[in-house]
Amino acid sequence: MKQILTILLLALALTPGVTKAQEQKALSLKDCIDYALDHSSAAKNAHIDVLLQKAQNDEVTGRALPQISGQGKYTQFIDIQQTFLPGKFIDSSLPANSFAPVAFSSKLSTIGSLNANQVLFNGSIFVALQARNTLMELARQNANMKMEDIRYNIQKAYFGLVIAHKQFDLMKSSLDLVRNSTRDLQITYDNGMIEKIDVSRMEVQLNNLESDSIGLANMIDVSETMLKYTMGMDLTTPITLVDTAMVESTENATALLLKDEKYENRLVYQLALTSVKLQQYDLKRYKFEGLPSLSAFGSAGYNNASNKFNDLVNKSYPGFSMVGLQLDIPIFDGFQRKSRVKGAKLKVEKAKNDLENTKLGIDFQTQSARKTLANALSTIESRKRTMQLANSVLVLAQKKYKAGVGSNQDVVLAQTDFLQAQNNYFSALQSVVNAHADLEKALGLLK
């Protein structure tokens, strides 16, 4: 009954919720990455950020194009404002020092016009146009950085899940072996050939192994859900992983140690370079603010005025038009531009310092990742030999016990050592996977 309960618990732990029967999706690492790049919210937002920058660039371009606007206006004075003129101008009979109110406008007026303005030269707009490509480059680099993070997270999650499944399979084999041993010991005890403590030792190990198996099954369920979440996949979709050749992964990790480091491969370095370019454009913009700006303008329209509304409709509207040039020359702004230029120069120097620091950071990350991966590869070989040796000791202890020349305690100790060796091996294998991903990222290979 206890074994049946354990099997049911394991089955429930490996089932992510109650869902309809669905066909398993067989996914390679590339499949998972491609799916995430198409469906995850992080990838979608990265593409949107590029489109947003393009929209901002189009807005800058619009500042250099003709600006055209239309205007229509209707005015009705309730009380017309009057201007005071010397009385003699209006009526010679008025006193010499008197003033008489005179209305110079009609009660009703209308006007319709079309206005245009075209920038011919403006230093700030000129630099902004030059900076558009660099801004788009920055947006794409930021998007690529997010894609790199997605690949990095998917790779670690994918192989972490592969390792967990392999560990669970090996644990199930050990669990079957311990169950059989416990059953044999119980029969032997029932026949009065061994003491109760021998059975109890094996039952303690069986209980611990069953608890560990349930915990690992739950961890697999959570890890699989996390992988789907990172991919942007429906969490109820059943999946199976096909890239399970961990030997090939360790061989690839060994070959990765020989890869050369190139700053140009790192997106963070490219971002730092682009930041320097943008700060230099900012400096250039402030310098160009001291130059004159020239624009052309024009206006055309019709207007009319009357004291009666019908006259506005029936009379013909006289037209007007004009064109001109406007030259704006900055003369003195209280040294504001000079201060902005000084600040922009300091920002350029700061961006260059950040670029040098980025190079040092890449060197540190690469060297650290190389050492970590080399140590992990060295450790996993040792852990693998230890696990094989522990398995041999367990097999020998079981044979000796069955032959009557060994004790049950030796079998229990050998089984415990083998399980610990398994855990150590899979822990080392996880370290290799993580270090491999870290070094790929440090070398700029996650593209």
List all residues 6 or more positions away from 388 whose beta carbon is below 8 Å from its beta carbon. Answer: none
Q: Is residue 281 one of the residues assigned to a domain?
A: yes
Q: What is the pLDDT of residues 218-263, one digit of tens each?
A: 999 999 999 999 999 999 999 999 988 876 667 788 888 988 889 9
Q: Is residue 112 one of the residues assigned to a domain?
A: no
Total number of domains in the chain: 1
The pTM of the full predicted model, rounded to 2 decimals, is 0.81
Q: What is the pLDDT of residues 148-177, one digit of tens each?
A: 999 999 999 999 999 999 999 988 888 888
The DSSP line for 52-113 is: HHHHHHHHHHHHTS-EEEEEEEEEE-SS---EEEEHHHH-TTS-TT-EEEE--S-SEEEEEE
CA nearest neighbour of 218 among 437, 7, 15: 15
Q: Is residue 404 one of the residues assigned to a domain?
A: yes
Distance set, CA 74 to CA 80, 91, 100, 299 (Å) = 15, 33, 29, 18
Q: Is residue 304 one of the residues assigned to a domain?
A: no
The DSSP line for 186-252 is: HHHHHTTSS-HHHHHHHHHHHHHHHHHHHHHHHHHHHHHHHHHHHHT--TT--EEE----HHHHHHH
Q: Is residue 101 one of the residues assigned to a domain?
A: no
Q: Is residue 252 one of the residues assigned to a domain?
A: yes
For tokens 């644990």, name the residue: 171
Read off φ and ψ for residue 421, nearest 5 degrees. Answer: -65, -40
408-442 and 132-190 helices, crossing angle to 10°:
180
Token pair in block for residue 338: 């000079």
Contacts by 202-207 with C-beta closer than 8 Å and gap 24+? Answer: 202/178, 202/408, 202/411, 202/412, 205/178, 205/412, 205/415, 205/416, 206/175, 206/178, 206/179, 206/182
* Confidence tier at 15 by pLDDT (50, 70, 90): very low
Q: What CATH number does the domain containing 402 carry?
A: 1.20.1600.10
DSSP one-letter code for 18 = S
Question: What average pLDDT does the chain have?
Answer: 88
H or E stretch at 323 = strand 319-328
Q: What is the pLDDT of residues 252-308, one digit of tens each?
A: 888 889 888 899 999 999 999 999 999 999 999 999 999 999 999 999 998 888 777
Mean pLDDT over residues 50-73, rounded? 95
3 state SS for 279-299: HHHHHHHHHHCCCCEEEEEEE
Q: Is residue 162 one of the residues assigned to a domain?
A: yes
The domain of 415 spans 2-15+22-79+122-297+333-442
Buried residues in 373-405 as b, exposed as e (16+ CB within 10 A):
beebbebbeebbebbeebbebbeebbeebeeee
Q: Is residue 251 one of the residues assigned to a domain?
A: yes
Contacts by 58-64 with C-beta closer than 8 Å and gap 24+? Answer: 60/125, 60/128, 60/129, 60/132, 61/129, 61/132, 63/119, 63/125, 63/128, 64/119, 64/125, 64/129
Token pair in block for residue 98: 């008197």
* For residue 325, pLDDT beyond 50: yes
